[in-house]
Every structure is written in C-alpha cells, then in structure tokens.
C-alpha cells in the first residue's frame, strides 16, 4: 500500500490491487479531505498519532467493515464516514471533542456506536440515517453526550430536560407537539430557532444563570402564554418572541442589556411590560405592536432616543418616568429630556398637543403612527424635526411649521394622508427625501425658491444614515420631497416613480 504524505498529513491513499486492509503509518497527525474517498478498502487501522480526520476522508468507502480510530483523535470532519454502507460498529474514543455534521450519515448497517463521555460539538445529523440512531431515539427521549443535549424525541407533552445539561445543539429543533418545557440550571444559551413554530407550546420555565436567548428562538409560538425571564439574562436576540400572540406579560430583569430588532413584535396580548433599570440596547421595533397602554421608564434608563423607535404602533395612552431619572421626564404623558429641550416620544393615542416652548428638537419617530393625532402646535423654539417624526399620522390635516425651523428629516411627514396644506419656512437649511411623500391629499404647498441641502437616504438595518448634497434644481427637490402628492402633479412635474 502507498500513501501521499506531506508534513504529517496523509493527503492521498494510493490503492493497490488485492490490498483491502489498510494500516496507516504511525506519525500521521491528519487524514486529509477525500484521502480515501470511494476506495475499496474493507478495514483501516488509524494510529494514535492521528488527531483529525477531515471532511469526506472516508466518504463512500462502501466495502469498509472495520475501523479502529486513534485514541488521540480530537475531530471528525463533515461527511468523514458518510455512506460506508457495511460499517456496523464504531468506537469513538474519549479524546474526540468534535463530531461534525453528517459524519456517519447513510451508514445503513451501523447498529453499534460507543460515544465518548463528553463532547464539545455533535449535531444529531452526525448519525442521520443510521439504524443505531433511529433505534436509540425510539427508546429514549434524549440523546445526551456529557453536558451536551444532542437530540430529543419527547414522548410527553411536558418536557423536563435532565440536570447536568449545559448546552443544547443548535442544529436540532424541538417537535411542535410539546406544551411545556423546563430547562435545568446550567443552560446558558437558548439556541436560535429552537422552538420556532412550536404552535402548541404554552409554558416555558427558563433556568437561573441563563445569559442569552437566540434569534427566532420562540418565534410564532402562538399559544405561549407563560415564560419567566431570570435575573442574569443579558441578551434577547432579534425576533426571539415575535408573534407570541398569547403572551400576557413581559417582565425583564435589570440584567438585560440588549433586546434585538422585533424581539417582542406582534405579541398582541401583552398587557404588562417591565423594562430593565438600565440603558438597555435595543433596536427599531423591539416592542412593536404591543397593546400596552402605559409605559414606565425606570430611573437608570436614561437614553430616550431608542424609545421612540422601539415602541411604534402600540396603544400607549401615557408615558411616565421615575422621578429620580436624571435625563428624562414626562409631561402630560409625553416623554422629554429632563431640561424639556428634546421631545422623544408621544403616546400613540394622543389626539392633540401643544409642544412646550422650551423644545428645540422633535426626535425621529416621536409621533410615528399616532393615527388619532389631529392637532399639533409647534413653538418657534423648534429648530429640527427628525426623520419619520410624524410618519403615518393619518389624522393630521394641517400643521404650522415655525419660521425658525432649519431641518426636516427624511420621511418626516410621509403618509400623513389627511394633510392638505403646508408652508415650508424660508429659513429651512435642510429637508430630507420623501419628507412629504404619499401625502395623498396635500394640494397646497408654499416653498422657498431653493433649499440649499437635500439629504439622500441609505438603508441600514431599517434605520438610516445620511449625507447631504447640494441641489441646483427646485424641480428635482420637489420630486424628491413631495412624491406621490397631488400638489406635485399640479406643478406640472412628473413624479420620478411614475416615469419608471
């Protein structure tokens, strides 16, 4: 028998006629990808010097009956023994830390597997389509290797994961038949998509010491009505609980520092929300479409800017702030900076407001989706209206912009479908694209001859970054700012979108 070997790596097995029993030379540390692929060998002895068998190394060795693995082996690669049809027994030594995906897939005679007592990584698909795996899961609820929960096939609607488990394979998903799941202390991470679309799941008991809930972990668990969030939890990733339509309350511990995009969006039955008492990191629409009526801002949540984005399209009637909060305050149910110079967020059901004359800036999304808003009085002190500040205020018929206003952000009044007239202040320095787009009843606009700067928008994670570019064309400015309005057509300008 002959081999191609370079620097301790067995690169290629060179078959010899009549030789089917292979002994790999001592000193080899790695068996390279496809080294024995599709060979006719029947047995192989792998010396203890070998530490890694790479991807597809013995794939489609369909006559292979016997394998002796190295006692120092640490890693089995993807498809490493795939489709070794005659292999019936394998002893995986204690030294192995990683068994990669589909390592023994399709070994249709494999009925006897000895596993190590612990492992770092081993997805269930490593043994896919083997009789050993199918029989084992018929007889057991769980396949566990040391601390790792590899696979599960619970026979009951209530599942209690055994003590000692600290990690759950992220490649496997729970069946959609369970109604209750209890995690043991020691589990640190709930992997992404673990319970996604488990529509019968009603109750989850999370363990003390949990740090992270992964993306989509419970997305579309429509019947989930009860879950605890233990102290120590830090991160709830994007879409983790989206569309959990039976969830009644969200009580987040003070340890939570990050809530991902749409993490609790469309949880349409939530009546109670407790935010962590810290400057939580959150994203656009983290709590979108929650039917809560009252939002309380705790003492140490001092950054008001994300709040306006995270709570769009709710049913808020009031926002209150802890009296000891050093940066934020509430006045008539509206969220402001402590010095009352920045308006951060108005409750969704607000109908009219006279903004205090201390305010100089209306933040982005401040009145977004306030569909009942009819009347707004903006004082002369206001210099800036942020992006999407009044987007989708569909009941707003008119608004007087102060002459001292210098900036209107991107899509600031987009889709204010009842808005009929607007006077653009002559001191305005900057106006964003689509500032009044799709205001389908906007027929009267008074606009200065030329506004020096026009912002163009770049999308990034549904938020926006901007740069400014001078425009020499009043016509182009009108098209960019007032697209989709009857006023634009009345000026004789053709909407760019119609031209396309």
Q: What is the pLDDT of residues 248-304, one digit of tens each?
A: 999 999 999 999 999 999 999 998 899 999 888 776 678 888 888 899 999 999 999
User: How do 30-31 and 453-460 pair as beta strands?
Assistant: unpaired
42 close to 20: Cβ distance less than 8 angstroms: yes
Beta bridge partners of 337: 328
Question: Can you tell me the distance from the alpha carbon of 329 to that of 337, in angstroms, rounded to the nearest whole number?
Answer: 6
Average the pLDDT over each of 57-61, 281-285, 317-321 and give the range with the smallest value.
281-285
| pLDDT tens-digit series, residues 187-208 | 999 999 999 999 999 999 999 9
Question: Which pLDDT score is estimated for 469?
Answer: 41
Whether pLDDT at 458 is above 50:
no
| pLDDT tens-digit series, residues 200-243 | 999 999 999 999 999 999 999 999 999 999 999 999 999 999 99
Residue 464: pLDDT band by 50, 70, 90 thresholds? very low
Tokens read off for 60 = 């489609």
Question: Which pLDDT score is estimated for 411?
Answer: 94
For all residues of the chain together, what is the average pLDDT? 90
pTM: 0.81
């Amino acid at each position: 028998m002959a081999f191609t070997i370079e620097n301790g790596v067995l690169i290629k097995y060179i078959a010899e006629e009549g030789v089917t029993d292979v002994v790999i030379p001592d000193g080899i540390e790695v068996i390279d990808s496809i080294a024995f692929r599709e060979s006719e060998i029947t047995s192989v002895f792998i010396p203890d010097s070998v530490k890694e068998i790479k991807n597809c190394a013995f794939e489609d060795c369909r006559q292979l009956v016997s394998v002796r693995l190295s006692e120092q082996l640490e890693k089995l690669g993807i498809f490493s023994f795939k489709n070794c049809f005659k292999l019936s027994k394998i002893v995986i030594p204690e030294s192995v830390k990683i068994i990669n995906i589909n390592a023994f897939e399709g070994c249709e005679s494999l009925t006897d597997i000895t596993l190590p007592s612990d492992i770092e990584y081993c997805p269930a698909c490593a043994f896919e389509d083997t009789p050993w795996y199918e029989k084992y899961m018929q007889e057991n609820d769980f396949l566990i290797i040391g601390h790792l929960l590899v696979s599960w096939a619970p026979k009951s609607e209530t599942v209690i994961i055994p003590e000692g488990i600290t990690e759950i394979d992220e490649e496997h998903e729970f069946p959609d038949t369970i109604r209750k799941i209890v995690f043991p202390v020691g589990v640190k991470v709930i992997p992404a998509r673990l319970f996604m679309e488990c529509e019968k799941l009603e109750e989850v008991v999370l363990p003390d010491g949990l740090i992270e809930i992964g993306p989509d972990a419970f997305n579309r668990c429509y019947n989930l009505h009860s879950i605890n969030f233990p102290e120590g939890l830090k991160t709830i990733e994007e879409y983790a609980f989206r569309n959990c339509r039976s969830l009644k309350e969200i009580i987040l511990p003070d340890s939570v520092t990050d809530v991902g995009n749409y993490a609790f969006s469309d949880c349409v039955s939530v009546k109670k929300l407790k935010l962590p008492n810290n400057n939580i990191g959150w994203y656009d629409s983290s709590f979108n479409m929650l039917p809560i009526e009252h939002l309380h801002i705790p003492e140490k949540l001092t950054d008001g800017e994300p709040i306006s984005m995270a709570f769009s399209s709710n049913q808020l009637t009031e926002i209150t702030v802890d009296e000891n909060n050093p940066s934020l305050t509430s006045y008539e149910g509206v969220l402001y900076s402590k010095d009352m110079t920045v308006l951060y967020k108005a409750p969704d059901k607000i109908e009219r407001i006279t903004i205090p004359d201390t305010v100089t800036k209306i933040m982005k999304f401040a009145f977004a989706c306030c569909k009942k808003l009819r009347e707004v009085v903006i004082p002369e002190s206001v210099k800036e209206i942020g992006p999407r500040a009044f987007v989708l205020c569909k009941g707003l018929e008119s608004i007087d912009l102060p002459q001292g206003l210098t900036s209107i952000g991107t899509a600031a009044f987009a889709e204010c479908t009842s808005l009929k007239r607007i006077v653009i202040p002559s001191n305005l320095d900057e106006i964003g694209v689509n500032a009044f787009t799709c205001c389908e009843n906007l027929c009267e606009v008074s606009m200065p001859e030329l506004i020096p700067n026009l912002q163009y928008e770049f999308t990034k994670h549904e938020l926006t970054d901007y740069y400014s570019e001078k425009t020499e064309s009043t016509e182009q400015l009108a098209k960019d700012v007032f697209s989709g309005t009857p006023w634009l057509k009345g000026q004789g300008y053709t909407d760019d979108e119609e031209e396309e």
